[in-house]
Amino acid sequence: MADLGAGPAAIPRAIAEARVAQVARASYGRLVGILSAPAGDIAGAEDALSEALQAALVTWPGSGVPDNPEGWLVRVARNRMTDAHRRALKRDPLPVEAHALPVSGTPQAPQDDPRLALLFVCAHPGIAEAARGPLMLQAVLGFTAAEIARAFVASPAAMSKLLVRAKTRIKANAMPFRVPEGALRTERLRDVTEAIYGCYALVWREGPEADEMQREAVFLADLLATDMPDDSEVLGLSALLAFLHARRSARLDAGRYVPLPDQRTELWDHALIAAAEARLRQAFELGRPGRFQIEAAIQSVHAARVRTGKTDQTALAALYEGLVRIAPTLGAQVSRAAVLGALQGAQAGLAALDMIDDARLARFQPYWAARAHLLAQAGAVTEAREAYARAIALTHAPPERAFLASARAALMQS
């Protein structure tokens, strides 16, 4: 086998395993993009990368971590794909050597980043609309089918079938792995931005893996904004994720979940907030308001607590009214109800929740968490305890589960 750049010294297995996990978290989408582009085979690329990661777990403890671990993984994965698809790789068109893939940094031109190409092929109009967002979340950002199913309030089995069909269609129709231009780019952009937003919004796990996935979403939004500085919604998305990421250090206190109103603003990233404000102003100056700009403006209101020490609930209510008019997602409607509860009282918030007519509410965790909180404020202890139980059952992050369980326990003692 050709030299893949492995270091000369053996290292402890735990260190090697941690390095494999770190590379997988940081580079998953880029590696899948590189591997899948030549043959249009996303499923094959994912399988080959998985095998390469397994090979790294076996090889790196004895031989050391390669100088270019991503290049090592690409080379090993390509060998696996060659073995599995000899008929498609007779000429071995793009042999990637260990030195050919940069360990860090970004390509010179944003449109050359393989992650963008992968995002846009997943948003191809030939792919079923319902599959585009989930496919991007899995292929580019590494979410499992079960995680995506929870986010889309679907069964894991149905989501797996949807993803398999989409990947098969991309390969069978030889859909090109490139960032399109003009109208073709515009028609796919909504799905791409939704998927990038979804990555950040769907990460309920804590620890290094969650942080890496959130950083990847912020990076992809910035990449799009750099490539499309005249698109107000792309700029709005970049601002929105920057606002959200600026609060990452305040979300936990010694492992305990801290809700936004209780977070210590001195722990927020003030420089990132300033950058988000600048990007949001850049978006507003284009004069084409949209969903992500409104959501970013909502986060800007929260960020203003750094300066004022309080949250302007009236401004939040007005912004959520506008958001629900143009993008009446379940999340937006539930958040609007929560703000109304804070501004006008628990009964107003509960009335707004009762007006939401969607069968998915039964499995939508934010709805039950908001309902439980408002019922508790209204003094409806029995109903609040039941709603908290529903919310806890639908919550997967241990810190949030513990927070909700504590709130429910406090009601049981009252």
Q: In 228-345, where does DSSP find H-type helix?
A: 232-245, 270-284, 291-303, 305-308, 313-326, 330-344
User: CB-side exposure of 241: number of CA atoms within 13 Å?
Assistant: 30
Indicate whether 103 pLDDT > 50. no
Task: Please compute the mean of the pLDDT values over residues 300-310 and round it to a whole number.
Answer: 96
* Cα 273 to Cα 288: distance, rounded to the nearest angstrom: 22
Indicate whether 228 pLDDT > 80. yes
- In this structure, are residues 200 and 244 in contact, taking their beta carbons and an 8 Å threshold? yes
* Cα 200 to Cα 197: distance, rounded to the nearest angstrom: 5
Of 283, 141, 151, 133, the C-alpha closest to 193 is 133
Indicate whether 388 pLDDT > 80. yes
- State residue 67's pLDDT score: 81
* Cα 209 to Cα 213: distance, rounded to the nearest angstrom: 6
Q: Angle, nearest 10°, between helix axes 270-284 and 232-245?
A: 160
- State residue 203's pLDDT score: 64
Top-confidence residue, 67 or 4: 67
Phi-psi region of 397 (alpha: psi -120 to 50; beta: other; left: phi over 0): beta
Top-confidence residue, 18 or 110: 18
Residues in the chain: 414
- State residue 91's pLDDT score: 44
* Cα 102 to Cα 23: distance, rounded to the nearest angstrom: 13
- State residue 342's pLDDT score: 95
- In this structure, are residues 98 and 66 in contact, taking their beta carbons and an 8 Å threshold? yes
Task: Please compute the mean of the pLDDT values over residues 95-117 and round it to a whole number.
Answer: 52
Rg (CA), the chain: 23
Residue with tokens 């794909």: 81
Top-confidence residue, 77 or 248: 248
pTM of the model: 0.75
Q: What is the mean pLDDT of the chain?
A: 85
Phi, psi of 253 (to 5 degrees): -130, 105
Tokens representing 47 are: 């399988």
Residue type, 22: Q
Indicate whether 279 pLDDT > 80. yes
- State residue 43's pLDDT score: 80
Instruction: Give the start-to-end residue ranges of the domains of the chain.
Output: 13-84
- State residue 81's pLDDT score: 74
Task: Please compute the mean of the pLDDT values over residues 313-334 and round it to a whole number.
Answer: 96
Q: Angle, nearest 10°, between helix axes 313-326 and 330-344?
A: 150
pLDDT digits (tens, 9 = 90+) for 23-76: 877 777 778 877 877 766 788 888 888 888 888 888 888 888 888 888 888 888
Q: Which residues contact 396 (CB under 8 A, 6 or more apart)?
A: 150, 204, 205
pLDDT digits (tens, 9 = 90+) for 159-204: 989 999 998 888 888 888 888 888 888 889 999 998 888 878 776 5
* Cα 404 to Cα 394: distance, rounded to the nearest angstrom: 11
